[in-house]
Amino acid sequence: MPQQQFGARGADPRPSRLWLAETTLRFVRQSQTAEVLNPALRPPNEMNRFSINAATETDVPLLLALIRELAEFEHLAHEVAVTAASLREALFGERPVATALLAVVDGRAVGYAVYYRTFSTFVGRAGVFLEDLYVQPAYRKRGLGRALLEEVAAVDAAAGGGRFEWIALRWNENAFRFYRSLGAKVMEEWALLRMNGKEVSNLVSAKVKVGA
């Protein structure tokens, strides 16, 4: 691909794709002395004129549009079921389950990241999972993707530096090169397992016989 592509989730859109072949990338940060950045607002970068801002409830329409752009890039637009109402509830409801950041250039949102907290029993500390990372094509290779990652990594460091993890499409070689350059490791021995709504419902209702 001619440009660096950012997409932190999804599956290979080819007919032969295997969901279980999605690769988990794990970035373990355990420094206890590093300065922790404030994820709520990063001052504008003077050279490239951008800032990283914490998304607010009024940003929901912008986030929704960017999520749909990411889905188009990943050839997964047909799987997008999120609505403005469900996104607002997830991010800004009574019990938020995730947090969003926006990359802003000259007052315009051109990228975003969505993350949530995790916990590792092996490490014994809280961590962070990066659900989405996306920068519009016209604004790539300007440091926005790295700046978004750094802000999420700062959240992980503030929590004790347990684990910082995300997944990437195997065919997205540019993204893999970028992530590896930051110190991320490909967890080849692990495979992502997934159940969608129908499968979860079947399991709960005992329509699937589980042998264990």
Which residue type is seen at 181?
S
212 by Cβ neighbours in 10 Å (0-12 / 13-18 / 19+) ranks as exposed
Q: Which residues of 167-194 are buried (b: 16+ CB within 10 A; e: fewer)?
A: bbbeebeebbebbeeeebeeeeeeeeee
Please tell me the number of Cα atoms within 13 Å of 158 on its side-chain side. 11
CB under 8 Å to 50, separation ≥6 — which residues? Answer: 44, 103, 104, 105, 110, 139, 142, 143, 144, 147
Phi/psi for 7 (5° steps) reads -160, 120
DSSP character at residue 70: H
> Which residues are tagged catalytic?
179
